[in-house]
Structure 1
């Protein structure tokens, strides 16, 4: 399941199991680029020591899933404080905190001021500062006609991490699949798109699919070893399918990206005003 979610490129993984539909945390990583060590989890956190192989730079990473019940908030804050690394160690914290630390991070005036203060005190104790989110005010919506919105998700870092990774940029992506919007933390070059082959199930229903498969599979391989023959048949078939799908679905991909861009623009508009019924339908 972890490999499927990671697109079979992020083969390393660690998890904190969910209780029902809540509390689950999954970390996925590319073992060619980063090394994860000392993985451990608490009641609301999953932490690991990360080393970037190319630069041999290490830091502690803690991902969180904060509780929704008020009687567990202080336990969560204490666990976060217990995760604080020794002086001089880089630390990055991210996840769904289910808590705001500023009143302006909610579009309603009924925020619990006491919980805000406790969370802010925990962040100050941990010497964590928030990484600025470039394009959104809020990260969660209850998706009603007049929605309640909050900034429940985020990235925090200490000074040592911030100085080492000084070219980071945090963006919100389209909230097309969840009531939370995904967050992408990258350097200023942006993420590189994966080049791995992905088979789409709906291809089998499209005209020309069978012909592409037959032509690629029946092409005689220049190998006698059965394993090499199989490898080259699969490789040639994937190459032909990739070329075929590009010509067949180029317009669909453009439309998909346009749709995601429209959703993101509506997400951003919803930060400052109520969407019209027509916008909500769209």
Structure 2
């Protein structure tokens, strides 16, 4: 087990060119507390510091990008500088690679995130380009992204597969000495979301033996597809992402009715201590706990609806892998996908209110 676990989120977001979509992606990132986020198909020809911060929050403000060509493609990598450092970023037509160092222990590895071509004529160019990113022997390497290509026939729910291209992709992976990290809870990662859907495993994470040995406790799970037709992939240590448990005072609390009553009741509670420092510590701790509990009662409703919508979308995504969804279920999923954008906008506006940023 690593002294400082590093967790990854990989997702084809199908565009970040509207505030509602960016807010939804931000909420997904925050809910996982990942240290590295790899986004594909951003459809943005440029991302600035403000745009990166709006997605990754205060932790994942550092970024590297492969700009989109107009509104096609685009790769964005966000990371937590307090946990890891990225250097030697190299960008090619389909890939973005960088050397990663974990700050706490000094462990290094190479990260490559990809967005494969959709056109058949460019597949072989992509396979050849992936091979150029292969590091020298002994270097740990992990590759993740939307490959837009399967490497096993069973990674598609229909039989119209190109076996020749599958074999060429598999040969490229063998030359790169990459093996797939098994996805625990899903067979497929993409759906065209029709009545009789086509399902494929287009999004994957591969690694070489050196990376697999060193990060052997990491497990890959699929999350709710949310606003995209691709599901996010969460590669995290088996104990799960660590969530910080710190009290944060929100300035807007003071303007909400009931705030002063909560503070007075908590502050005047008998601590049972007579030593001034211990008494002050108890009062501050109790006041913080009461304010946190009070705040959750104010804003938990939107969060509960947001998480519930994501869970139902995930269940429908899994169900369509074994049966056809009914017309009602397809309509429900479409409504929920619109709903999560609205709920994410509500959460985003709350956070903007309690921040010092004015947009």
Q: TM-score range by the shorter chain?
A: 0.7 to 0.9
- The alpha carbon displacement at 1:258 in A equals 2.3
- After superposition, residues 80-95 of structure 1 pair within 5 angstroms as 80-95=130-145
TM-score between both structures, scaled by the size of structure 1: 0.83
1:122 aligns to 2:172 (yes or no): yes
Find the aligned partners of 1:113 and 1:197 in 2 and give their Cα distance: 55
Find the aligned partners of 2:217 and 2:301 in 1 and give their Cα distance: 34
TM-score between both structures, scaled by the size of structure 2: 0.66
Gaps of 5+ in 2: 1-50, 261-288, 333-359
Aligned counterpart, 1:9: 59
Aligned counterpart, 1:247: 297
Find the aligned partners of 1:256 and 1:209 in 2 and give their Cα distance: 26
Q: 1:26 to 1:79 in 2, by over 3 A?
A: same
- The alpha carbon displacement at 1:194 in A equals 5.7
1:161 aligns to 2:211 (yes or no): yes
- After superposition, residues 141-180 of structure 1 pair within 5 angstroms as 141-180=191-230
- Residue by residue, what CA displacement relative to the aligned partner does 1:68-113 show, whole Å, maximum 9, x if unpaired? 1111111110010111111111000000000001111111111111
Aligned counterpart, 1:22: 72
- After superposition, residues 1-282 of structure 1 pair within 5 angstroms as 1-193=51-243, 210-211=255-256, 245-282=295-332
- The alpha carbon displacement at 1:22 in A equals 2.6
Find the aligned partners of 1:196 and 1:212 in 2 and give their Cα distance: 24
- The alpha carbon displacement at 1:243 in A equals 5.8
Which structure has more relative contact order (CA 8 Å, sep 6+)? It is 2
Q: 1:196 to 1:183 in 2, by over 3 A?
A: farther
Gaps of 5+ in 1: 216-238
Is the Cα contact below 8 Å between 2:193 and 2:330 reproduced in 1? no
Is the Cα contact below 8 Å between 1:101 and 1:119 reproduced in 2? yes
How many pairs are equivalent?
254
- Residue by residue, what CA displacement relative to the aligned partner does 1:29-74 show, whole Å, maximum 9, x if unpaired? 0000001010111110000000111111100000000001111111
- The alpha carbon displacement at 1:213 in A equals 11
Q: Secondary structure at the match of 2:213?
A: helix
Please tell me the root mean square deviation across aligned C-alpha atoms, in Å: 2.6
Is the Cα contact below 8 Å between 1:212 and 1:240 reproduced in 2? no
- Residue by residue, what CA displacement relative to the aligned partner does 1:201-228 show, whole Å, maximum 9, x if unpaired? xxx9xxx99546997xxxxxxxxxxxxx
Q: Secondary structure at the match of 1:2?
A: helix
